[in-house]
Structure 1
Amino acid sequence: MKTILEALYRGQLHPDETIVPSHPEYRLLSRQVVAQTEQWRDRLGEEAFRELEAYFDLCDSVNNMQVEAAFQHGFRLGANLMIEVSIKREEWLQDVASGLS
């Protein structure tokens, strides 16, 4: 079995492509989006709908950038939390060993 680090290095790890929200309403809302998209396509016609899709693509790009920034922030926060806990654990172990607990 490969390690996560190996898979990441080899470009085999794509969490953004495999994440599916577990929120109970996700699939229902996704179906509603598809249904309403088809309704708008019928209402607007192909040309206007293509313009609307271009707008949605811009919105998706902005949203993806925000999600990426949130992921990076969360990852850094988690890593820094692990470092802090590790340092405090070492201090705690030193205190215990010296009888200061």
Structure 2
Amino acid sequence: MNSLIEQLYNGILCPAEKIVPEDPQYRQVNTDVSETMTDWKKRHSEEEFKELEALLDLYAQIHDMELTSTFTYGFRLGAGLMAEILTGKNELANMLSHFPDDLPGEKS
């Protein structure tokens, strides 16, 4: 088995594809959403349903951005905690968890 760093580099490790909520209500809520969408489609015109889908697509984009930021923050916080633990220097975790996503002069 390759190291985690090698798996990440080679595209084998993709955290976004591996995250599945462990909350016992997750599957039920997911089923409820699917059933509600089906019911909504039956009760509304095709145009109204397309508008709803467009809105949900926008929401999904925002949600993806939020998840990316959450993952980045958590990763930096974890790395900062490890740095503090290993070096004994306080405030590294706090400093690293607030590091900007875009450095001056970098383009996203």
TM-score category (smaller protein): 0.7 to 0.9
Structure 1 runs of 4+ aligned residues shifted over 2 Å read none
Root-mean-square deviation over aligned CA pairs? 1.3
**Larger relative contact order, structure 1 or 2 (CA cutoff 8 Å, min sep 6):** 2
1:11 counterpart = 2:22? no
Structure 1: gaps (5+ residues):
90-101
TM-score (structure 2 length as normaliser) = 0.78
Provide the C-alpha distance between the structure 2 equivalents of 1:88 and 1:18, rounded to a whole number of angstroms. Answer: 33
1:14 CA displacement: 1.4
Q: Give the aligned residue type for 1:18.
A: K
Matched residues, number: 89
**1: CA distance between counterparts of 2:45 and 2:38?**
11
Kindly indicate whether residue 47 of structure 2 is the aligned counterpart of residue 76 of structure 1.
no
Structure 1 residue 73 displacement after superposition = 0.5
Q: What does residue 104 of structure 2 align with?
A: none
Distance apart, 1:29 and its partner CA: 0.6
Q: Corresponding residue for 2:100? A: none
Measure how far apart 1:86 and its partner are: 0.5
> Which structure is higher in helix share?
1
Gaps of 5+ in 2: 90-108
Q: For residues 17-96 of structure 1, what are the structure 2 equivalents within 5 Å? A: 17-88=17-88
